[in-house]
Amino acid sequence: MTATEARAGGAKGKRPQIVDMAWDPITRIVGNLGIYTKIDFANRLVTECHSTSSLFRGYSVFMKGKDPRDAGFITSRICGICGDNHTTCSDYAQQMAYGIKPPPLAENVVNLGEAAEYIFDHTIFQDNLVFVDYCEAMVKDTNPGVLAAAERTEAPRANVHGFRTIADIMRAFNPFEGSVYKEALKVSRVTREMFCLMEGRHVHPSTLYPGGVGTQPTPTLYTDYLSRLLGVLDFVKKSVAMNDDVFDFWYEALPGYEEVGRRRVLLGCWGAWQDYNACDYRYASMNEWGKAMYVTPSVIVDGEVVTNNLIDINLGLRILLGSSYYDDWVGEEPFVTHDPLGNPVDMRHPWNQTTVPVPGKRDFADKYSWVMSPRWLDPKSGEHLALDTGGGAFARMYAVALNGMVNTDYIRSDGRSVRISLPRSDQLPEMTLEWTIPQWSNAIERNRARAYFVAYAAAMAVQFVNDGLELVRAGDTRIFTDFEVPDEAIGCGFHEAVRGVLSHHLVIKDGKIANYHPYPPTPWNGSPRDTYGTPGPYEDAVQDMPIFEENGQDDFRGVDIMRAVRSFDPCLPCGVHMYLGNGKKIDKVHAPMWGAASHG
């Protein structure tokens, strides 16, 4: 079974020339990612793809028996990039379990911290990692014909970003040399400062707790945050224009490139930024306060919203084993038989999951990954959907646009697009940007959406500063709600990590954690084939994908495959080891400086 229909592309019809090629590890934060492919060089096509993770971490195992109040601090260490997203999500789950609601000012601080994190993380990933695959040095090496065309092509939005040609933009992203590459590093410093003003420490927050925060908001705090935010808005506006120019050019320069990384529109978004006027963290009202989030939770299939009800999203979660190294837990006594509304909870739901690792030899016909296969059961079709996050930004933009529920002073959504209004900045005037739902869910559109969501997060940050100052000026200084840990309770938190859906499910018995399962975006995107043979999103996006790289087998870099996988934002890459079939192996260690010596 496949999630995406067969696609056109490649010079099909020639006698196949199949070569095994693997990139392992593409080291990421959540596990060691490996991509194993079979490539038909005669027809320029990826015929098979498997996504593996060679690292078992086991947070769900050692969380048992812990004091639930420690959950946010422990789970923040799951990731060295988006640890604050885990702390926030854990606090959401605990607040449901404890039956408490933080004061409005505390929610405001969390929202401001998370907005800064989105801007920081998306910027450093997009400009210092993703765009290395589109920079002049890489394109010269893999698609010199495209670079020649870029030299001749005027940049349509030069009046915004200041670069005359598309090639000029590409040069600006050359690692450690390009002007945009270097400026993005400066922006990452400033946005981290914004984050630390609100959450204390990056990336493991020191001031976020269930029930509230330890940051005392003052007018000076908001001024310090806002001054930094306004200082990066020129960069944010220029980034959207540069991304649009490069990606629009890419479609024109390489007809058919929409097939790179393309799969069905199967998107999950769990929502972001609570509206403190609506959110009380009660499970019974989760549908209502979920819809009030400043990013609308949704399951989207083939361009249609299947549900935007967080209760339905929660009940539809299923953890399948399939090709992963674990024993099944079905048949054991469930932790949770029914949710607080009386709805039955499946044994494959995170509340009932038991992690039983069983190491084994990698076998692509059987078990080959430590990543399980999270799926969402569509009650209408009965399918276990292999949802992806679109790298986070794509699913969020799509969900906001399609639902049309988010309408603030700076964001307007209408069922087909999102309009983002940014105030005047140092060099550029007030500007309204519009992201429109694209035709494809592919590598280019995932990457394009990331630049737009940086602008979205910046616009919401301005809104949150205004909201916070209004609370402070009204004399509201409360930042914490007292609570007692109950002997027995359940809770669930839904949030958007930078790269997509994040959920934490908590079961408390005798005042201790009896079961705890965090599900970040990487297991969704990087999952292997499940029990029904459905490939995970990385596998699905790469398999049957045409190859546009001009290099032949001997000097093949696999840049199209890397663009497809990296478009999902699988955290930070450190090194790549590349294996070519017939016993030939090339090790390429990616040093920070472009062109650093490699060994083989």
pLDDT tens digits, one per residue of 317-375: 999 999 999 999 999 999 999 999 999 999 999 999 998 999 999 999 999 999 999 99
**Confidence class of residue 586 from pLDDT cuts 50, 70 and 90?**
very low
**Confidence class of residue 582 from pLDDT cuts 50, 70 and 90?**
low
- Structural Rg of the chain based on CA atoms: 23
pLDDT digit string (tens) for 263-322?
999 999 999 999 999 999 999 999 999 999 999 999 999 999 999 999 999 999 999 999
Give the mean model confidence (pLDDT) for residues 179-201.
98
Tokens of 132: 């290395």
Measured between alpha carbons, how far is 419 from 491 in angstroms, rounded to an integer? 34
pLDDT of residue 571 exceeding 70: no
The secondary structure of residue 132, as a DSSP letter, is: G
- Pairing mode, strands 512-519 and 431-436: unpaired
Measured between alpha carbons, how far is 457 from 400 in angstroms, rounded to an integer? 13
CA 526 to chain centre: 11
pLDDT of residue 111 exceeding 70: yes
Cα angle, residue 388 at apex, residues 410 and 86 outer, rounded to 5°: 70
The secondary structure of residue 333, as a DSSP letter, is: P
pLDDT of residue 185: 97
Element counts in the chain: helices (H) and strands (E): 17, 19
Secondary structure (3-state) at 194: helix
pLDDT of residue 33: 84
Measured between alpha carbons, how far is 353 from 356 in angstroms, rounded to an integer? 9
pLDDT of residue 429: 98
**Alpha carbon separation from 400 to 107, 134, 362, 404, 476 (Å, rounded):** 21, 28, 40, 6, 31
At which residue do the structure tokens 């020339």 appear? 17
Give the mean model confidence (pLDDT) for residues 557-571.
92
* Contact between residue 397 and residue 434 where contact means Cβ atoms under 8 Å apart: no
**Confidence class of residue 3 from pLDDT cuts 50, 70 and 90?**
low
* Contact between residue 461 and residue 119 where contact means Cβ atoms under 8 Å apart: yes
pLDDT digit string (tens) for 160-184?
999 999 999 999 999 999 999 999 9
pTM: 0.95
pLDDT of residue 578: 44
pLDDT of residue 410: 98
Across the chain, mean pLDDT equals: 92
pLDDT of residue 576 exceeding 90: no
* Contact between residue 471 and residue 56 where contact means Cβ atoms under 8 Å apart: no
* Contact between residue 300 and residue 399 where contact means Cβ atoms under 8 Å apart: yes
pLDDT digit string (tens) for 29-57?
444 788 999 999 999 999 999 999 877 77
**Confidence class of residue 572 from pLDDT cuts 50, 70 and 90?**
very low
* Contact between residue 346 and residue 357 where contact means Cβ atoms under 8 Å apart: no
* Contact between residue 478 and residue 32 where contact means Cβ atoms under 8 Å apart: no
pLDDT of residue 8: 54
Which run of H or of E encompasses 212? Answer: strand 212-213
**Confidence class of residue 7 from pLDDT cuts 50, 70 and 90?**
low
pLDDT of residue 593: 39
Tell me what percent of the residues of the chain surpass a pLDDT of 90.
Answer: 87
Measured between alpha carbons, how far is 497 from 395 in angstroms, rounded to an integer? 12
Which burial class, exposed, middle or buried, applies to 577 when counting CB atoms under 10 A from its CB (0-12, 13-18, 19+)?
middle
Tokens of 260: 């790179």
User: Which of 178, 174, 202, 177 has the alpha carbon at shortest distance from 190?
Assistant: 202
pLDDT of residue 54: 76
* Contact between residue 335 and residue 379 where contact means Cβ atoms under 8 Å apart: no
**Confidence class of residue 574 from pLDDT cuts 50, 70 and 90?**
very low
Tell me the β-bridge partners of 242: none
pLDDT of residue 573: 32
pLDDT digit string (tens) for 343-352?
999 999 999 9
Tokens of 244: 């649009």
Share in percent of the chain as helix, strand, coil (round to 5): 40, 20, 40
**Confidence class of residue 595 from pLDDT cuts 50, 70 and 90?**
very low
pLDDT of residue 591 exceeding 80: no
pLDDT digit string (tens) for 433-473?
999 999 999 999 999 999 999 999 999 999 999 999 999 99
